[in-house]
Structure 1
Amino acid sequence: MRILSLDIHCFRNIRKASVDTDARSVMLVGENGQGKTNFLEALYVLCYGTSFRTPNLREAVSHDGRGFSVKADFVDDSGNHHEIQVKHVQGKRSIFIDRKEIYDRKELIYTIPCIVFCHDDIEFVRGEPEARRRFFDQTMSMYNPLFFDDSRRYRNILRQRNAALKEGRLSLVPIYDFQLARYGMSIQKARKAAVKEFNDIFPRMYRDVSGTDLEISVEYQPSWKMAENAEDAEEILSRALERDVRMQTTCSGVHRDKFIVKDADRPFSQTGSTGQLRLASLILRMAQAGFFFGKTGKEPVLLIDDVLLELDVTRRGRFLSHIEDYSQAFFTFLPEEKYFSSLEDEKMLSYTVEGGAFR
Structure 2
Amino acid sequence: MNLLRLHAENFRNIPLAAVGLEADSVFLLGANGQGKSNLLEAAGLVTAARSFRTTETRPLIRQNQPQGRVFFKVRHEHRGETEITLTLASGAKQIEVDGEKITRLADFIGQFPTVVFSAEDIQLLRGSPGLRRRALDLTLAATDPDYFKALSRYTRALRDRNKLLKDEAPTASRRPFERLLAEEAVKLIAARSQGVKQLSASLVECYSELCGVDESPALQYKVDCQAATTEDFLKTLEQQQRRDEAMGSTQKGPHRDDLAFKLKGRSARDFASDGQQRGLVVALRLAQLRYFQSRTGLAPVVLADDVLGELDPVRRAGFWRAVGPDLQVIATGTEPPVGDARQWKIIHVEGGAFDEAKGEA
Task: State whether residues 207 and 280 of structure 2, in contact with CA within 8 Å, keep that contact through their aligned partners in structure 1.
Answer: yes
Evaluate the alpha carbon distance shift between residue 105 and residue 325 of structure 1 in structure 2; reply closer, same or farther with a 3 A threshold.
Answer: farther
Counterparts of residues 258-273 of structure 1 (less than 5 Å): 258-273=258-273
Relative to structure 1, the CA distance from residue 89 to residue 146 in structure 2 (aligned partners, 3 Å threshold; closer, same or farther) is closer
- Matched residue, 1:218: 219
Question: Which residues of 2 match residues 180-191 of structure 1 at below 5 A?
Answer: 180-191=181-192
How many Å apart are 1:91 and its aligned residue?
4.8
Q: 1:110 to 1:228 in 2, by over 3 A?
A: closer
- Tell me which residue corresponds to 1:129: 129
| Residue of structure 1 in register with 2:6 after alignment | 6
1:110, 1:292 → 2: CA distance?
9
Q: Report 1:312-351 matches (<5 A).
A: 312-324=312-324, 327-335=327-335, 337-344=336-343, 348-351=344-347
1:198 corresponds in structure 2 to 199
- Specify every segment of 5 or more residues in structure 1 that has no aligned partner in the other structure, as ranges: none
5+ residue gaps, structure 2, are 356-361
> How big is the shift at 1:144?
0.9
Q: How many angstroms does 1:208 deviate by?
A: 2.8
In the TM superposition, residue 325 of structure 1 has moved relative to its aligned partner by: 6.8
**Residue aligned with 1:3, SS:** strand
The change in CA–CA distance for 1:187 and 1:90 in structure 2 (over 3 A counts) is closer
After TM superposition, give the deviation of residue 100 of structure 1 in Å: 2.1
| Bigger Cα displacement from structure 2, 315-324 vs 62-71 | 62-71
2:296 equivalent to 1:300: no
CA-CA distance at 1:355 after TM superposition: 1.3
Q: How many Å apart are 1:141 and its aligned residue?
A: 1.2
The Cα of 1:275 is off from its aligned counterpart by: 2.5
Q: Deviations over 1:249-299 (max 9, x none)?
A: 101111111211112332210001222212211111011001221222221
Q: Between the two proteins, what is the percent identity of the paired residues?
A: 32
CA contact (8 A) 2:30 2:349 kept: yes
Is the contact between residue 36 and residue 332 of structure 1 (CA under 8 Å) also seen in structure 2? yes
Q: Distance in 2 between matches of 1:49 and 1:224?
A: 30
User: How many angstroms does 1:326 deviate by?
Assistant: 5.5
Matched, 1:250 2:250: yes
Q: Does 1:161 align with 2:157?
A: no
Q: Residues 2 and 328 of structure 1 are in contact (CA less than 8 Å); yes or no, is this contact kept in structure 2?
A: yes
Q: Which runs of 4+ in 1 moved over 4 A?
A: none
Task: Find the aligned partners of 1:295 and 1:251 in 2 and give their Cα distance.
Answer: 33
Match of 2:98 in 1: 98
Deviations 1:145-199 (A, max 9, x none): 1111111111110001101111122222222221111110111111111122222
Report how far residue 107 of structure 1 moved. Answer: 2.5
- Give the deviation of 1:7 after TM superposition: 1.0
Query: Given the two structures, how large is their TM-score scaled by the length of structure 1?
Result: 0.94
Q: Is the 8 A contact 2:119 2:310 kept in 1?
A: no
Superposition pairs for residues 39-118 of structure 1, below 5 Å? 39-78=39-78, 80-89=80-89, 91-118=91-118
Equivalent residue of 2:10, what SS? Answer: strand
Describe the superposition over 1:117-147 as per-residue Cα deviations: whole angstroms up to 9, x where unpaired: 1122111111111111112111211211111
Q: TM-score, normalised by structure 2?
A: 0.93
What amino acid is the match of 1:28? L
- Name the counterpart of 2:276: 276
CA contact (8 A) 2:203 2:218 kept: yes
Tell me, what secondary structure is at the counterpart of 1:249? coil
Q: 1:182 is matched by which residue type in structure 2?
A: E
2:351 pairs with one of 343, 347, 355: 355
